[in-house]
Structure 1
Amino acid sequence: MLKKPLLFWLILITTFSGLIQIQAQTVLEDSLMNGNNFQKAAFRLWIGPETKAIAGVIVIVPGSNGNGRNMVEKSEWQALANKHSMALLAAHITDKPSGNMAIEHYADVSQGSGQAMLDVLDRLADKSGHPELKEAPFAFWGMSAGGEFNYEFACWKPERVISFIVNKGGVYYTALASEATRKVPGVFLTGEIDNPYRNEIVEGIFSVNRRFGA
């Protein structure tokens, strides 16, 4: 008498377990503190439920000292990542207290913050069971200080960057990029009603690199 009800519940549990497995997404976080040029470097990783092998990582870096980690929850970003079998990695990077907090020292990625991102991603690769993340290429999006970070990362490790977007930003540590960096596709955006000095800086970086083949 118990066989049919038991079979029914086993089928039901199996069905729902399958649905949960199909719909599961991977969301992980990790961070490093008190680096050479940053106070905190925290990142949230998102991997879609249908992504088996990760082809690359979309890196989202917000404005000055901002927390962009919740951006991995945006459906637009998730759809873009799923379309290209990519993961999302969103950042919350902050500067150490200084006399002028308008200068984002963490944007100078070669001084520690860039390596912090790579180290955190390596740990997230182990946690997620996706070792391919350790060598995956990056597509960077960022605004203001995030754009600064993106450009400087492309200057630091161009071999890891497949594209980057600079959306404004007023403090840059590299003017003329290397030949390898100039081969990386990049988009520079300015704002019509933004501070003129920031537009001039972004346009200047674009122009000097375009002159030499970017």
Structure 2
Amino acid sequence: VKHLYPILFIFSFLSAEIYDVSIPENDTASYNYADFRMWVNDSTDTLRGIYWFMHPNNGDSRNIVTDSAYQALASGQDFALMGAHIFNMHMNTGIGDAVIAAMDSFAVLFRHDELEFVPFFVNGYSWGGQFGYHFTKWIPERVVGFITQKGGYHDTTDAGDAIEVPGLMFV
């Protein structure tokens, strides 16, 4: 029986879905590209949030969804796991709207309507950390927390309501 538990644990992560969503620019956007990948454990009835790992500049964090350690972390909190390939961190380019549009698409694909409104936890590395902070400033009511792992300068001008969101900034 004690050998059965690791096998069940492994199979619990095998029963999951992964989808990709790309949101093309529209007439008012200027973010170049917005590609997202999300993993949801099939055993999760109701998602409580989205753990989103953001890449450094010119990076692509979509493959994070296949990392078993991140899957266990997200699944343990009833969170979805998401990575992205995006270029622009400035919300006025429409990239924030693209993120929200992607969540609407994922809600349909995964049959989890709550993806339209559950909060994000953004863990960003370098440029991705700055993106996470900009995203938090833009829509703080959708962010439960953020981490920025970044060297150098952080643009922290006028945090607004983002000051109420728990954050950890490594500089």
Class of the TM-score when normalised by the shorter of the 2 chains: 0.7 to 0.9
Q: Given that residues 51 and 82 in structure 1 are in contact (C-alpha distance below 8 angstroms), is that contact kept between their aligned partners in structure 2?
A: yes
Aligned match of 2:105 in 123, 129, 145? 123
Q: Is the 8 A contact 1:141 1:165 kept in 2?
A: yes
Q: Secondary structure at the match of 2:23?
A: strand
RMSD (Å), alpha carbons: 2.0
Contact 2:20 2:37 in 1 (8 A): yes
1:23, distance to aligned residue in structure 2 (A): 4.3
Equivalent residue, structure 2, for 1:111: 93
Q: Which has the higher helix share?
A: 1
- Choose which of 133, 139, 155 in structure 1 pairs with 2:115: 133
Q: How does 1:55-70 map to 2 (within 5 A)?
A: 55-70=48-63
Name the CA distance, whole Å, in 1 between partners of 2:13 and 2:128. Answer: 34
Q: How do residues 9-24 of structure 1 correspond to structure 2 at under 5 angstroms?
A: 23-24=14-15
**CA offset digits 1:142-177 (Å, max 9, x no partner):** 111111110001101111110001111557555120
Q: Which amino acid aligns with 1:120?
A: A
Q: In the alignment, which residue of structure 2 is the partner of 1:176?
A: 158
Letter matched to residue 177 of structure 1: A
Q: How many residues align?
A: 159
Structure with bigger gyration radius: 1
SS of alignment partner, residue 74 of structure 2: helix
How much does 1:37 deviate?
A: 3.1
Give structure 1 stretches of 5+ with no counterpart. 1-19, 95-105, 191-214
> Deviation above 6 Å: which 4+ runs of structure 1?
none
SS in 2 for 1:33: coil
TM-score (norm 2): 0.86
Structure 1 residues 155, 128: CA separation in 2 closer, same or farther (over 3 Å shift)?
A: same
Equivalent of 2:65 in 53, 64, 72 = 72
The one-letter amino acid paired with 2:60 is: N
* 1:26 partner amino acid: E
Q: CA deviation at 1:114?
A: 0.9
Name the CA distance, whole Å, in 1 between partners of 2:107 and 2:61. Answer: 20
